[in-house]
Structure 1
Amino acid sequence: MLDTPSHTTETKRAAAPIRAIRAEGARIAVELVGGRTARLSTRWLRLACECEACGDTASGKRWLTPADISTAIHAESFDASTPGQVTAIWQDGHVSRYDAAFLASHTDDAGAARFEPQLWDGGLAARLGRFAFDAVVGDDEALFQSLRALRDHGIAMLTGVPAEKEATARVAGRYGPIRETSYGKVFDLISRPDARVAGETARAQIPHTDEPFRYAPPGFIFFHAIRTGAGTGGTSLTVDGFHVAELMRTGTPELFDLLTRRGVTFHREHAGEVFFSAEAHVISLDAVGQVTGIRYNDRCLAPQQAPETEIDSLIEALAELTRLICDPQNQFQHQLQPGEVLVFDNQRVLHGRTAFDPTLAVRHLRSCNIDRDGVHSAFRTLARRFAPEEAEAVLYQGAIF
């Protein structure tokens, strides 16, 4: 049967074109322009076919399974004479066509492109991305640039946002569906004497990630300033959790290692309403050892279960992390003004604030959450249009362990 190509140049990373291709048993030898020869798995190549009969994996309308590809699979012939395309004819007569750049990008030494976040400390102000509300709401390219800033630094500032309740969901909805939690879709943080959560008090808050007691903590958080009482305290503090994790990796590697492999329990209970409890790593690593997520809130730490020989080390690891978080050199400080929205990755950026006097001014923020996969989906979708080479890099996936 004759198949149509599915791996198109505009949707795959650019790579060296293929000069020739030939079967070598369980491997396929690929000669790239420049003289280098790389290899592909024969089974992988057959499984990569996304013709009409095999279906495509991106849409989920996929009909070929790994079990359909036997260890004895082999190609009868290859043709790389058409520029940018490789055709394979398999032993059963099936014909597959592939984009040559797609194949070259998957050769044995190409590896998956992994995005490397840009780490920051207290000097973030000069690099912080600031984006006008009207542009983000009305222009997809401006929205993409703000999403790119969130990818790079895990934080961005939106300005000129109406200091009205309706504007919170309007701007947050541009980044993905708002996640409803036990606190609702949009939560008003106003200091009050009968505070239900710490954010409703006027006390200082050590930078932390929100809701580490959930199996899946919120992804991205929007803090929309309605009233702030500027000059009376309540300065926002943010910390790049990836930066302080790397400081620990370098300075106290044994404590860093402990937080990457020892489960820590966080909990939250409102009697008769909710009782959350989750055990997870404070520092999550991906398959190649890069930091991919942070989960930490000192106020939600449950009494920990650990062997007697390890409990003191675990407490010291948490203490060292807290010291780094509280170090002013690692904190970006900003006094939010009405009409500003601070957007940040809750599984990378820790947030807190200084104390303030509630008798001098009312501090009113509106907060809502967007799941991180929704934000990353929006980034990739817009990257297809504005920066195709960035669309398929592996992004850090958060506190997933």
Structure 2
Amino acid sequence: MVQVTFEIKQQPASVIAQLPGETIVLAPLWLRERCQDAVSLDVTTQQRLFNPHNLPDGITLVEAEAKGVDQAWLSFSDGYAGLYDLTEFRADFDPLDGLPTPISWKSNIDTQLIYIDFNRLTDFDYRLEAFSKFLTYGVVVIQYVPTEAESVLDVGKIFGQVRETNFGKYFEVYSRPNSNDLAYRSIHLDPHTDNPYRDPMPGIQLLHCLINETSGGLSTLVDSLAVAEQLKLEDPEGFELLANVPVRYRHVDNDVELIERRPIIMTDALGRMTGVSYSPRLDYLPLLNEHDMAIFHRARRRMGELFVDPAFERRFKLEKGELQMFNNTRVLHGRTSFDTNEGRRHLQGCYMDMDGPKGIYKAMKRSLKAQ
């Protein structure tokens, strides 16, 4: 979180935020909207009891007086006056909203950073650490998960809410002919994001290994943040096209046809890269002039090369009782081919939204602070 302190000035009345290398005079309207008394703000829900959209134009701060550490009495031109806890403002200066800072990784990542023990998730501190690992690295591998059918749903409930799709509440991953997705065959699958044709895309995927008797079928994971950093260094022009030109994705099944358009490189409302929408099995080149098409294709091809580069792609055998949970748009997953004659390889999977673990993590941190 950005370090911020607040200064109260009486003449002229003002509240000033001091940040490293920056000073911000907080606008009177901004302050007025954030009044904290019980008449204006419900104590339990922290929801407003008034409509700030109806505040008058040109509102001014007429009085500002410090009241102890990080508190101030503020009076405004519309007649409102109240006591403010200035520490409540700090969240406005945190672009991560209290979440851990994402750390990109390559194939040589220390497994201790992402492996966790299912049996220890009942412990509050360990569970909080597990959430922190997932939000930091975009992936965790959970060991010693019971191998009974639908256990993947039990793990999902720990981290948030399972999201049902046209594939059901959970889906079975084993080789079967004429399946409605290539994931349900024994062929090699390059790194990809799931369901880029869906709005919104699943934020999280869980894959739980019930049995794996094959020597092939290795799981692959790659952090798109690390790959994008490299691509931007090599080809900034191509990077910009991938981040700004929408691509069409399509999925066809007997009872549904799903189509969505979005750029391959995904950014949030603040312009920060959050991941990718990448699936060569499902995407279509956008309509571009010949010059831009060449640059776009060059960058897309290079991104695909980096995704399977041993420096970035981590390969490992997902063992019986292990479950990989990953940010679907940040950490791409894939699989090497396998021989069904060697034995069975059966995984169960499900999808979740990212706001689940984010929200639970912040609530746990708030609980810890209250203690």
TM-score under structure 2 length normalisation: 0.90
Alignment partners' CA distance in 1, 2:321 and 2:218: 15
Alignment partners' CA distance in 2, 1:104 and 1:325: 38
Alignment partners' CA distance in 2, 1:237 and 1:244: 14
Letter in 1 for 2:32: R
Structure 2 portions without partners, runs of 5+: none
- Aligned-pair CA distance for 1:167: 1.7
Q: Aligned to 2:177, which of 190, 193, 216?
A: 193
Alignment partners' CA distance in 2, 1:222 and 1:282: 22
Q: What's the counterpart of residue 234 of structure 1?
A: 217
Q: Do structure 1's residue 21 and structure 2's residue 20 form an aligned pair?
A: no
- Aligned-pair CA distance for 1:139: 2.5
Task: Indicate if the aligned counterparts of 1:158 and 1:340 stay in contact, CA closer than 8 A.
Answer: yes
Q: What's the counterpart of residue 398 of structure 1?
A: none
Q: What's the counterpart of residue 8 of structure 1?
A: none
Task: Indicate if the aligned counterparts of 2:15 and 2:64 stay in contact, CA closer than 8 A.
Answer: no
Alignment partners' CA distance in 1, 2:46 and 2:89: 21
Decide whether aligned partners of structure 1 residues 112 and 188 sit closer, same or farther in structure 2, where only a CA change above 3 A counts: closer
Q: What's the counterpart of residue 358 of structure 1?
A: 340
Task: Indicate if the aligned counterparts of 2:17 and 2:24 stay in contact, CA closer than 8 A.
Answer: yes
Alignment partners' CA distance in 1, 2:223 and 2:295: 24
Q: What's the counterpart of residue 158 of structure 1?
A: 142
Q: Do structure 1's residue 30 and structure 2's residue 13 form an aligned pair?
A: no
Q: What's the counterpart of residue 394 of structure 1?
A: none
Q: Do structure 1's residue 246 and structure 2's residue 202 form an aligned pair?
A: no
Deviations 1:354-375 (A, max 9, x none): 1110111111000011101112
Identity %: 26
Alignment partners' CA distance in 2, 1:238 and 1:57: 44
Q: What's the counterpart of residue 119 of structure 1?
A: 104
Deviations 1:44-99 (A, max 9, x none): 11111132232259937323334332233223322213333111123344222111
Decide whether aligned partners of structure 1 residues 103 and 202 sit closer, same or farther in structure 2, where only a CA change above 3 A counts: closer
Alignment partners' CA distance in 2, 1:381 and 1:372: 15
Alignment partners' CA distance in 2, 1:71 and 1:318: 49
Q: What's the counterpart of residue 370 of structure 1?
A: 352
Structure 1 portions without partners, runs of 5+: 1-11, 389-401
Alignment partners' CA distance in 2, 1:376 and 1:119: 18
Decide whether aligned partners of structure 1 residues 335 and 105 sit closer, same or farther in structure 2, where only a CA change above 3 A counts: closer
Deviations 1:81-125 (A, max 9, x none): 33331111233442221113334776xxx5645753111111024
Decide whether aligned partners of structure 1 residues 113 and 223 sit closer, same or farther in structure 2, where only a CA change above 3 A counts: closer
Task: Indicate if the aligned counterparts of 2:191 and 2:334 stay in contact, CA closer than 8 A.
Answer: yes
Q: Do structure 1's residue 149 and structure 2's residue 137 form an aligned pair?
A: no
- Aligned-pair CA distance for 1:39: 1.5
- Aligned-pair CA distance for 1:308: 3.6
| Secondary structure, counterpart of 1:124 in structure 2 | coil
Q: What's the counterpart of residue 396 of structure 1?
A: none
Decide whether aligned partners of structure 1 residues 125 and 363 sit closer, same or farther in structure 2, where only a CA change above 3 A counts: farther
Alignment partners' CA distance in 2, 1:323 and 1:13: 36
Q: Do structure 1's residue 267 and structure 2's residue 250 form an aligned pair?
A: yes
Decide whether aligned partners of structure 1 residues 90 and 225 sit closer, same or farther in structure 2, where only a CA change above 3 A counts: same
Alignment partners' CA distance in 2, 1:22 and 1:180: 56
Q: What's the counterpart of residue 397 of structure 1?
A: none
Alignment coverage as a number of residue pairs: 367
Q: What's the counterpart of residue 365 of structure 2?
A: 383
- Aligned-pair CA distance for 1:161: 0.6
| Secondary structure, counterpart of 1:313 in structure 2 | helix
Letter in 1 for 2:324: L
Alignment partners' CA distance in 2, 1:104 and 1:21: 19
Decide whether aligned partners of structure 1 residues 30 and 308 sit closer, same or farther in structure 2, where only a CA change above 3 A counts: closer
Q: Do structure 1's residue 349 and structure 2's residue 338 form an aligned pair?
A: no
Alignment partners' CA distance in 2, 1:134 and 1:348: 27
Deviations 1:322-346 (A, max 9, x none): 1111111111111011110111000
Alignment partners' CA distance in 2, 1:113 and 1:49: 23
Letter in 1 for 2:265: I
Task: Indicate if the aligned counterparts of 1:15 and 1:101 stay in contact, CA closer than 8 A.
Answer: no
